[in-house]
Amino acid sequence: MVKTYSRVTALVVGTAMMLINGVVYAWSIYSVPFRDGFGWSSTQLGVCFTVMLGSFCLGGIIGGAVANKKGIGFTIPAGGVLGFLGFLLCMFLTKERIWLLFIAFAIAGIGVGFVYNAVISAVVPRFPDKKGLASGILLMGYGASSLVLGSLAAKLMNSPNFGWHLTYILTGALLLAVAIIGRIFVMPPKVKRETSVQPAARGLTPSQMLRTRRFWIYFAAALIGTGFGSGLIAHAQYIFQEGGAEYSLATLGVGLVSVFNGLGRIIFGMLHDRCGFRVSLAADALIYIAAGLLAYFALDGATWLLLGAMMAIGACYGAVPTISASVAEEFFGPAHYGRNLGLVNLNILFAAFASTIAGALQTSSGSYGPAFLLFVGLEVLAFLLILVLGRTKSLEF
């Protein structure tokens, strides 16, 4: 019989698992060898980030459906295998094989999506009293990956005795190892037979959820918020360099954005627990707008202001998935939480194109300024949607 560990242990181990799987957000660091070695443009590398985030989102949906039949005990190690395979395929990259880069990170993204959905579904419901805080801590680990893995990867890839090939193999091995080992500690307790006569959890099925107004309003607002953050974080290294930062400071900046990404998840998770989705989402949108405008004007060479603005954007980006992890159950009930969460997070699939848009705007204009202005304008629309969402009627289960 498999031992069930305490919810605190599950939260700690789950956070470590999310830390390793959050490597997708260190893309601006992991992609440097391809820009410098193969000469691939910001647009091409932005497309890869889009593919990776889109695949991550699909992996969450597929993983939720598979877990519904086989359990997370199957989907977590399966996700680790896919993550390892994706990074391993990068060993066969050449300048002419950029298509293989997309395939490799599509596979890795699906694997990360498997693990992400399973860990959230296994751990967060064990904290009914502190859902926002629990999801915030888990996703803090996910967002902090750029600082931990990204900084380490930058050093290893620049080392003549290591290089990017071995760094990629090590990253894939970590994804596999943490899935196999971590699975043991996050498995939820099994319902005893004598308690199975208790009323079953209630809530909307995925198809019922998709027919509600509340889902689509939240989905649109989350899409804009996710696009704002992911579209710019994917290019953080290059944004800092445009603002006058040296390579070392730009790399540190990526890590600091990651730290605030993680802190934002905890802060907004606690704000959500205390004040509800209306306040937490509205605060997120307003800070996004102010930080985006500040970053636009700081691109002229105000490096430290740019750094502060990007850190605020990282914190705001961290709020969206944290709040999503809570409202998926709050809005639509616990009965189909894992599958509904996968559909709520589908906004990431569409928001992933923001990276491609930001890269294209930079390639055409020579600056990330137009991207900042575009995302600020869209976030104003998101704020209005949040006001409408706050007036929608709560559903009864």
pLDDT in tens, 266-320: 999 999 989 999 999 999 999 999 999 999 999 988 889 999 999 999 999 988 8
Closest C-alpha among 264, 183, 168 to residue 17: 183
Answer yes or no: is pLDDT of 195 > 50: no
Compare 291 and 61 and report the one with higher pLDDT: 291
pLDDT of residue 397: 55
Contact at 8 Å (CB) between 261 and 317? yes
Mean pLDDT (the chain, rounded): 88
Task: Give domain status of residue 396, yes or no.
Answer: no
Closest C-alpha among 299, 264, 237 to residue 25: 237
Task: Give domain status of residue 34, yes or no.
Answer: yes
Task: Give domain status of residue 218, yes or no.
Answer: yes
**Listed ranges 37-51, 142-156, 183-197, 307-321; the one with the highest mean pLDDT:** 307-321
Answer yes or no: is pLDDT of 364 > 60: yes
Portion of the chain with pLDDT greater than 70, in percent? 96
Domain of 67?
7-188+206-389
Tens digit of each residue's pLDDT (9 = 90 or more) over 219-266: 999 999 999 998 888 788 889 999 988 888 888 888 788 778 878 889
Task: Output the DSSP codes for 130-172.
Answer: -HHHHHHHHHHHHHTHIIIIIHHHHHHHH-TTTHHHHHHHHHH
Confidence of residue 348 (pLDDT cuts 50, 70, 90): confident
Task: Give domain status of residue 1, yes or no.
Answer: no
Q: Enter the tokens of residue 239.
A: 């944004």
Task: Give domain status of residue 351, yes or no.
Answer: yes
The tally of domains found in the chain comes to: 1
Average pLDDT over residues 345-356: 82
pLDDT of residue 279: 94
Tens digit of each residue's pLDDT (9 = 90 or more) over 22-31: 888 788 788 8
pLDDT of residue 201: 67
pLDDT of residue 396: 63
Confidence of residue 198 (pLDDT cuts 50, 70, 90): low
The residues, any chain, with a CB within 8 Å of residue 67's CB and separated by 6 or more, are: 74, 75, 117, 118, 121, 338
Task: Give domain status of residue 194, yes or no.
Answer: no
Residue 131, number of CB atoms within 10 A of its CB = 22
Task: Give domain status of residue 21, yes or no.
Answer: yes
Compare 258 and 61 and report the one with higher pLDDT: 61
Write down the pTM of the prediction.
0.77
Task: Give domain status of residue 349, yes or no.
Answer: yes
Positive/negative CA dihedral, 323, 325, 326, 329: positive
CATH number of domain containing 11: 1.20.1250.20
